[in-house]
Amino acid sequence: MSKISIITSFAGLWLTSYLSDRNQLIFGFILIFTFGILHGANDLVLINQIENRKKITFFKIIASYIVIVVVSAVLFTLLPVLALLLFVLVSGYHFGEQHWESLIQNDSSYKKPFELLYGLFILSILLYINADEVTKIILEITGIQLTAFAYETFLIATGVFLVLLSYIMTKKHLDFKKHIIEQLFYLVLLCVIFKSSSLIWGFTIYFIFWHSIPSLNDQIIFLYGKYSFHNFKQYVKSAFLYWILSLIGITILYFVAKDLVVFDALFFSLLASITFPHAIVILKMFKK
């Protein structure tokens, strides 16, 4: 999957020269709403597989997601700083887990913190490079205007702790050493992509080609035993209803609340409502 991620990343980097910022935004959201949402739309099937195929009712899952949507919306409205921090932490761990889980075979007490720090480091690079745009978004959500020092601190702190944990991992995980040079190359490539692209387009390249598509591959292997085009069609078929419901929910939210002050809070609450339960399901899947 890494070869596919590299090739598609260079393709995305090449498109950067031909797409205006507006078109990058449009194309980025198209990819996010297709492959991005799709990779998290099959949680019900995954749960049934994890729980030895014990059937969990459709309405129970929908009710659970609605509760999480409401809780997320309340948090982003009343406690936006806490909600945003939780969203970043959960997203960071989810990204790091997806990237490293198959590369490090044996487990230890350092593996999960390392995966968390790796994901947070990726996010810190993206936020630091796009600090001006990110500051406007955070200001709208929380009412707090961050300075360049905040992004530098986040980047340096996660980078230092990641280096320290990487040193420990070389002692604890023999299979970790053989990936170091390769992973450093990937980090440099992502830095180039983030620097050359707009915020949304840079995030899209990483989120789709380095996270969502590899996650789809892992989920298909978990559900059907191997990846094939036939199994991919089966996955899409089983996830289709939840994917459509997610798109309908996002569309309704946009048209109802696009002119409201709390639109960003509501939009991020919806993203969080998808991310939080999906991250838990994927964590259970890897354990299984």
The CA–CA distances, whole Å, from 107 to 118, 166, 176, 283, 284 equal 16, 14, 12, 14, 15
pLDDT at 191: 93
Report the pLDDT value the prediction gives residue 30, as an integer from 0 to 100.
Answer: 87
CA distance linking residue 156 with residue 153, whole number of Å: 5
- Range with the lowest mean pLDDT among 20-24, 58-62, 66-70? 58-62
Q: What is the pLDDT of residues 207-265, one digit of tens each?
A: 999 998 889 898 898 888 888 889 999 988 888 888 887 788 778 767 776 666 566 55
Mean pLDDT, the chain, integer: 83
**What does the pLDDT look like over 136-175, one tens digit per residue?**
888 888 888 999 999 999 999 999 999 999 988 888 777 7
* Token pair of 14 as six digits: 């090449």
Closest among 43, 27, 113, 95 to 277, alpha carbons compared: 43
Q: 147 or 267: whose pLDDT is higher?
A: 147
